[in-house]
Amino acid sequence: MTKDYVEPPPAALLDMDELKKWSFYRAVIAEFVATMLFLYVSVATVIGTKATPDPCKGAGLLGISWVFGGMIFVLVYCTAGISGGHINPAVTFGLFLGRKVSLIRALAYMVAQCLGAVVGVGLVKALTKAFFDTVGGGANTVQPGFSKGVGLVAEILATFFLVYTVFSATDPKRNARDSHVPVLAPLPIGFAVFVAHVATIPITGTGINPARSFGAAVIYNNKHAWDDHWIFWVGPMLGAIGAAIYHQLVLRAQAVKALGSFQSAPNV
C-alpha cells in the first residue's frame, strides 16, 4: 500500500552542523522571546488577580487558565515555522525522545526557555513590585490540603496530556491526510494548556512547564517555592517520557514496525 505522506527522518542525536546555521540561532532566539512573553503576560495575570481584593473583579481560575492557554495558542502560531513553537522544556524533551529534534537543539531550547522565563517574570516584578512578593510571585507550590505525591502525579498527568496533544497535532501522517491540520495545530495545543490549568491549578498552581516554574521560583526566591520546585521538573519530564512512549511506540507502532523490518530482512 502506497503511503500518502513522507515520514521525516529522525533527527540526528548530535548534529554539529546546526551550530553553523543562522536558522538554529534564530530558532533559539525565538524560543527565548516567546517564553519571555508567555511568562510576562501569564504571571502578570496571576499577580493582578491575587492582588485584587474583590474576587469578582479578578480573572479568577478560568480567566487565568484562558490566559495561559491563549498565550500558548498565539505564541505557537507565531513561532511554529521558526523554532517549532516549543516554549516548554517538557515539550522539547518529549520531542527529543521522539527524535524530532537533536540533543544540541533540545539543550539550547531548554536554556533559552529558562532564561526567557526568568526575564519575563523579572519584568512582572519590576512593574508590580509593590505587591509581587506578598501574593506569592506567581510561583508554583503544592497547595494546602495536598501532599507532594499528589502534586507530582497531577503534574505527570497534566504534562502527559499536553505533550501527547503536541505529538498528535504535529503528526506528519495527519498533516498529509488533512491539509488544514498544520494551520490549526496551535489551537488544540493551547486548549490542552487551558484544560490542564483548570484541572491542576487547585492542586499545584499548574506547572506543566519547568521553565514557567523555574522563572517564577528564581525571581520570587522563596524557600517554600524551592522546596517544592523539584516536583515541577520531575513531574513534567516524566509526563513527557510517557507521552513520547505512548505516541511513538503504541499509536505510531514504531517498535512493531522496527521488529517487522528486522523479521523481514533477508538472511545473509
3-state secondary structure of 131: coil
Task: Give the 3-state secondary structure of residue 122.
Answer: helix
Residue 60 DSSP label: H
Count of CB atoms situated within 10 Å of the CB of 117: 31
Question: pLDDT value at position 260?
Answer: 54
* pLDDT for res 107: 97
pTM exceeding 0.75: yes
Q: Is the dihedral of CA 79, 83, 84, 89 positive or negative?
A: negative
Distance separating alpha carbons of residues 42 and 72, to the nearest angstrom: 10
Residues of the chain with pLDDT under 70: 1-6, 174-183, 253-268
Q: Are 118 and 219 in contact (CB under 8 A)?
A: yes
Give pLDDT, residue 172. Answer: 75
* Dihedrals phi, psi of 161, to nearest 5 degrees: -60, -45
105-147 pLDDT, tens digit each: 999 999 999 999 999 999 999 999 989 999 999 999 999 999 9
Nearest-10 crossing angle of helices 148-169, 186-204: 180
What is the Cα–Cα distance from 66 to 148, expressed in whole angstroms?
Answer: 26
Is 183 within 8 Å of 81 (Cβ atoms)? Answer: no
The pLDDT score that the predictor gives to residue 262 is 44
Q: What is the pLDDT of residue 160?
A: 98
Q: Name the burial class of residue 111, with classes exposed (0-12), middle (13-18) and buried (19+) by CB atoms within 10 angstroms of its CB.
A: middle
Say what the pLDDT of residue 12 is. 83
